[in-house]
Every structure is written in structure tokens, then in C-alpha cells.
Amino acid sequence: MTAINDTLHITREPPKWRTHSKPFWDATREKKLILQYDKEVGKYQFFPRPTSIFTGKRRNLEWREVSGKGEVYSFTVVHRARPPFQGHEPFFIAVVRLKEDVQVMGNMVNCSLEQMKVGLPVKPYWAPLSNGTHLLMFEPDVG
């Protein structure tokens, strides 16, 4: 098993939200994942945008809670990073395709190099941030 840093001990600044992303960050306080859903076309979108990426009509957007389960679409093993990640390489950044058909980027926890692959089933891992919100990361969904 090749050790890959899970990045959990790295202190990160809580991201600054925008007016159209605040509901997302508020929901993470309770480790809930909510996505914007366009009720006219019946599709989800990520990351939070000021309008529907499908129709341009923001009035059709609503927030819906989802499981956050999905599979790895692609990934990279980071060997060179900037502070505060510098010196903590290697670590994963995965692009996860959620069951709701959106692509989300996140670090991977509890995952070895040997285990990591495109198609790996994953579930959310919520890393606490200093302002009470949580950062969405992922871990293998082993059943």
C-alpha cells in the first residue's frame, strides 16, 4: 500500500461564498450536500451558478439535497503544490461524477494509490473548516 496524504491535517482558509453559493456552504454546516436543480429541464448543475446553465432562467433553479455518491471520473496525484499544501505531497485530487450527473472536484480520504482508479465508487467525506462549514471531499464507498 502506497501512502497518499489524506490532506486532513492541512489548515485551509474557509472559502468566501458568493450570494448565489451561500445556501451550499450553509448546508455543509450539517454535512448536507445540496445542488442547484433546474426544475424545468430536470437537471442538476455544479458548481453553484447565478443562473441555470441549461436555460439561462434563474427562476427555475431550486436547491435539492443529494447523497453525494458517485464514481471517480478522473484524478491526479499532486506532486507539486503551493502553500498550505506544499510539503504535504503526494495527495489526490479527484473529479467525481455524482449519480445526479454533475462533476465535482475533491481530495480523497482513506484511499491508497493501488485502490484509486477511474470508476471507483465514492461517497462524501466532510472535512471541518474553522468557520463551522465543511469542505466536500470523497472516500471509497466500500458498501
9 binds another protein (CB under 8 A): no
Q: Contact, 2 vs 86, CB < 8 A?
A: no
Question: Do 97 and 71 contact (CB within 8 A), yes or no?
Answer: yes
Cβ-contact 78, 69 below 8 angstroms: no
* Separation of alpha carbons 27 and 137, rounded Å: 15
* Among the listed residues 61, 66, 75, 111, the single contact to another protein using CB under 8 A: 75
Q: Per CB under 8 A, does 120 bind another protein?
A: no
Which of the stretches 26-34, 58-66, 85-93 binds another protein when contact is defined by CB under 8 A? 85-93
Binding site for another protein (CB under 8 A): 7, 10, 12-13, 15-18, 21, 43-47, 53-54, 73-82, 85, 90-91, 93-95, 97, 101-107, 118, 135, 137
